[in-house]
Amino acid sequence: MIKRFLILSLVFFLGALTTSATHNRAGEITFNQVSLLTYRVQIVTYTKTSSPADRPALEINWGDGTKDSLQRISKTTVGPDISRSYYEGTHTYPGPSSFTGFFEDPHRNGGVVNIPGSVNVPFYVESKIIINPSLGYNNSPVLLQPPIDNGAVNRLFIHNPNAYDPDGDSLSYELVYCKGTAGLDIPGYSYPVGS
């Protein structure tokens, strides 16, 4: 099976950042299939350590009409003014289908050049779980490289998530538009264009 790995939030920090910057920098949702209908889901967020905003719990929408609050299991410093928070939960789905699990949190970092008023745009991350017994167990790709790189003005920016698939499936990558409130495209978002 080929799994598409969507790069959901490519943003440019190529201007001067303002002092009003808040906390959300990057995030991911990964999952492991525990049984036919049960999945263990992991959320990782990368946030600005110096921000007063802190999330000891995050609400996850499982994609089947139900929600849960996942408690933070750990918070560690991974770079200058960058914290990594880890949340985990288990959920049993009602039956085979395709489900888009997501979380939304107010306020991403300020000063993002291609997101107008970025500090006031909710941070949104999603992951699709496909339950199909004829395909066997389906786990998400594992991301080994944290998305904590810094871009520079007039320089090529490359981030390799160093992903692998525990099921041995091939992976492909695709840039998609950044999402905000309710998983909708962010108004005024400028899609990155190569030079």
* Buried b or exposed e, range 104-124, using 16+ CB within 10 angstroms: bbebbbbbbbbbeebbebbbb
> What whole-number distance in Å separates Cα of residue 165 and Cα of residue 104?
25
In sequence order, the 6+-apart residues with CB closer than 8 A to the CB of 141 are 3, 5, 30, 163, 164, 165, 171
CA atoms within 13 A on the CB side of 118: 26
**32: three-class secondary structure by DSSP:** strand
Q: What is the pLDDT along the chain (195 residues), one digit of tens a residue?
A: 545 444 433 333 333 333 344 788 899 999 999 999 999 999 999 999 998 888 999 999 999 999 999 999 999 999 999 999 999 999 999 999 999 999 999 888 888 888 999 889 999 999 999 999 998 899 999 999 998 888 777 888 888 889 999 999 999 888 888 899 999 999 999 887 764
Q: Can you give the pLDDT at residue 16?
A: 35
> What whole-number distance in Å separates Cα of residue 83 and Cα of residue 77?
4
> What whole-number distance in Å separates Cα of residue 188 and Cα of residue 170?
34
Note whether 142 and 164 are within 8 A (CB): yes
> What whole-number distance in Å separates Cα of residue 170 and Cα of residue 108?
31
